[in-house]
Amino acid sequence: MLANANAMDPWTQTIGLLGPSSRVEAAQQCVAPLRGTARGADKRFDAAVTLIDRPTSSTATIAWRDSTRGCFGDQVWRMARARASGFCAMSGQAIHPGDAVYKPNARPAPVNAEAMILACVLRDAEIL
């Protein structure tokens, strides 16, 4: 017989922690749509993108979590000029060719190689 019939087992407690309050915290993270192309078809991806560090003025260490493209806990991104139109992975803002952006290191090519973050958005995230 249980000593306290009202006590919850650890699994039930864990599930309770994943309730609405955890969803609110998750929603506060920078989650924005990223437009990518898969075999020429237009497709939207949702990614949680977080600035971890700025090792230099032209690099950033990014945490990328995406249910379709995987997770990168400490991916290095480098400053570049956008060559194509797209959307900022952190803010969802439009990116136009020539805009200052950060992109994942190209070698080896990651699955999120087409992703971009506007330099001004990353600068604002650094201040926070």
Q: pLDDT tens-digit profile of 72-126?
A: 989 999 999 999 999 999 999 999 999 999 999 988 889 899 999 999 999 888 8
Tokens 């493209």, residue located: 69
| Alpha-carbon gap, residue 94 to 113, rounded angstroms | 17
pLDDT value for 66: 86
Nearest CA to 58 among 125, 112, 123? 123
Record the pTM.
0.64
Domain ranges of the chain: 30-127
pLDDT value for 41: 34
C-alpha triplet 128, 103, 99: angle, nearest 5° = 80
